[in-house]
Every structure is written in C-alpha cells, then in structure tokens.
C-alpha cells in the first residue's frame, strides 16, 4: 500500500474540501505517508495504532479518498426504538417528584429503572449514560435551594422593591450581609498534573473574623469588623458607621437573621426612620442579595487560596483586597428593577 494512485495535490485538495474533522484527520495522516513518513511514525504522531493507519490507506486505495468519511450507523445499535427514545427524553425533561412534595434531578440508575419498567430492556450504567448524552442531556451540578423558599413571596418582594424605588428617589439603596473568614483556607481547586494529588497546608485553626458588608446601588462596597460575635450590637454599630461614611438617607435591604429582627434593632429602626428605611428579604433568598457575591469573590480570589498567620494578617489582607478590588455586579440584576 503506497498510495501511488493519488498525488500529493489530490490528498491536499481533499483535506481543503472536507468539512468533517475526522475525515480531515485521516487525510492528513495519508498526506504524511505520501510525503515519506512511515505508517508507524504517523500512527505515533496521531496517537492511534499503526494498523489503523494501514486500514485507512487500504480503504483509500480500494474505495477512493471519499471513503474516509465517517460512516453512519456505526457502533452499538440501540434496543430502544425512536418512539421509546422520545418517551425517555420527555421523561428526563421533567424532575422526579419526591414524597415530601418537592422534586429531584435524574440519576443514571433512575433512567435504567425507568427503561426496565417501561420497556422491559436492561442497560448498563455506561451504556445508559451514552444514550442520555445522545438525547442532548449533560450532567450538571444542581443549585441548592431551601425548601422554605416561597416564589410567590419573592415575586411580591421584587414588586415592592420597584415601588419603593419610585417613592424614595432621595434614598440610597443598600444591601447588607454578614460573613466569617477563617485563618485556614477552605477547599480550593488548582491546576495540577492529571493523577497528582496537590496538597494545601493548614494549621487546623478555627479562629475567624466576622465582617459586616454593605453593597450599594452605586456598586460601592463598605465593610466593618463585627468583633467576636454577630449580634444586634455589632450590626447596629456597623450601620451607624455606614451612615457616617455615606452621609445620605439609606434604604436598607436585610436578610432575616435574628439580630436584624430583635427588639433593640426594631427600636433603632423606628427612632431613625427619618434617614433609614428597612425591608427584609423573603426567607431563603440569598441569591437576591448582591452582597453575597462580594463574599464569593473574596473567597475565590483570596481566602480559599491560602492560610493566614493570625487574625491581624487576615484582616490586613482583607482590607487590602477590598480597597483595591472593584465590584462591578449590578444590584438591578439581583432585584430585577
């Protein structure tokens, strides 16, 4: 098999006119053979067995260069008919109801059981995964959502926010949240050689710093050390500092932490209503609070990467990071106004 019936120009022209990447790969291999490389060397360069290259050469000589196109209908035939595959696809498109009135996503074993019970056909896990992929599905990480979340309340909250913005043009809209940062970094991914096990050294310390964060509609981020505990006193102190720093009337959006709803907090809100208005987020809606994204970014770019010597160093690096970092996410994206 020397490919004498084809010129180098013939093979090059076939490569240029092909739209199939697999066909192009085979033709490129033949072109290298035509230019003097041995089939064994070409096989090594293309990461295939040398018998594969010989098979491509034989097929080209017997059936022509066009025979290198991928042939339809290759591989294991499905026992499921097109109609049955359509039924499976429709089932996979809907979540599985659970006994508690909620639902969950499909697992491979669920699809195997469905096909066995519905059509009397059994598949291995690997084969079922391939069938599901061929139907256009991918394995996607599910986003957690609390069972306490009420979408109707969330919709009402969004509508209320829009009204408040129209009625309070002099107020600066601000969202608030608290977070804790530890001396030891939490788990993080890094680039490493496949199969290796990179190590991140930690001290085992549970020492932490509590931070109160405020994110404004102007995309400014303010942060305050809350001390040892998150409570009403530390929250109100941070709020008073925010008022001094901003110097404007504030419309504050809070989550439902107990210290945000305490008697002392409510009295403070009432006594300062001339510059402060409060609205609580609906239960279990952290995705509506843009301050949460500030914490997420901080962990990804700083605290999940390394551990810190002590609280002083941690606070200094947090301060430096927030001083330099520019948050650009829009509050309107979260609150839909």
Quick one: CA dihedral 119, 125, 127, 128, positive or negative? positive
Looking at residue 78, its pLDDT comes to 66
Task: Report pTM.
Answer: 0.64
Percent of the chain with pLDDT over 70: 96
pLDDT at 232 over 90: yes
Looking at residue 171, its pLDDT comes to 97
Report d(CA 42, CA 27) in Å as an integer: 12
Average pLDDT, the chain: 90
Among 38-42, 187-191, 330-334, the least confident range: 187-191
Q: Return left, alpha or beta for 47; rule: phi > 0 is left, psi -120 to 50 is alpha, else beta.
A: left
CA-to-CA dists, residue 308 to 196, 223, 295, 297, angstroms: 25, 19, 17, 18
Percent of the chain with pLDDT over 90: 59
Specify whether the CB–CB gap between 202 and 180 falls below 8 A. no
Looking at residue 297, its pLDDT comes to 96
* Residue 7's pLDDT band (cuts 50, 70, 90): confident
Looking at residue 85, its pLDDT comes to 94
Which comes out higher in pLDDT, residue 237 or 103? Answer: 237
pLDDT digits (tens, 9 = 90+) for 74-110: 655 668 999 999 999 999 999 998 887 888 899 999 9
41 CA to centre of own chain: 42
Looking at residue 75, its pLDDT comes to 56
CATH numbers and ranges of domains, the chain: 8-68 (1.10.10), 82-134 (no CATH), 152-335 (3.30.420.10)
Q: Which DSSP category does 77 fall into?
A: P
Among 172-176, 201-205, 236-240, the least confident range: 201-205
């Amino acid at each position: 098999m020397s490919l004498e019936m084809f010129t180098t120009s013939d093979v090059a022209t076939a490569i240029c006119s092909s739209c199939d990447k697999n066909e192009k790969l085979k033709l490129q291999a033949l072109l290298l053979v035509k230019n003097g490389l041995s089939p064994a060397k070409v096989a090594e360069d293309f990461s295939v067995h040398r018998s594969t290259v010989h098979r491509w050469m034989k097929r080209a000589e017997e059936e022509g260069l066009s025979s290198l196109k991928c042939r339809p209908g290759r591989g294991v035939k499905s026992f499921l008919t097109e109609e049955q595959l359509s039924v499976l696809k429709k089932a996979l498109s809907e979540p599985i109801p659970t006994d508690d009135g909620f639902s969950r996503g499909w697992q491979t074993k669920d699809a195997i059981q469905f096909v066995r019970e519905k059509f009397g056909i059994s598949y291995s896990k690997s084969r079922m995964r391939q069938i599901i992929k061929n139907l256009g599905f991918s394995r996607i990480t599910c986003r957690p959502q609390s069972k306490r979340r009420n979408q109707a309340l969330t919709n009402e909250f969004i509508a209320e926010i829009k009204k408040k913005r129209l009625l309070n043009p002099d107020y600066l809209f601000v969202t608030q949240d608290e977070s804790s940062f530890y001396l030891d970094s939490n788990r993080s991914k890094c680039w490493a050689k496949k199969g290796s096990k990179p190590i991140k050294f930690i001290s085992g310390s549970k020492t932490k710093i509590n931070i109160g964060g405020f994110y404004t509609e102007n995309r400014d981020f303010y942060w305050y050390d809350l001390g040892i505990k998150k409570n009403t006193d530390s929250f109100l102190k941070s709020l008073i500092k925010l008022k001094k720093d901003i110097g404007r009337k504030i419309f504050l959006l809070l989550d439902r932490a107990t210290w945000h709803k305490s008697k002392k907090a409510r009295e403070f809100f009432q006594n300062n209503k001339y510059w402060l208005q409060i609205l609580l987020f609906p239960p279990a809606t952290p995705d509506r609070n843009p301050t949460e994204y500030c914490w997420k970014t901080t962990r990804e770019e700083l605290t999940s990467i390394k551990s810190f010597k002590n609280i002083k160093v941690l606070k200094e690096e947090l301060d430096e990071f927030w001083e330099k970092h520019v948050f650009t996410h829009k509050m309107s994206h979260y609150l839909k106004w």
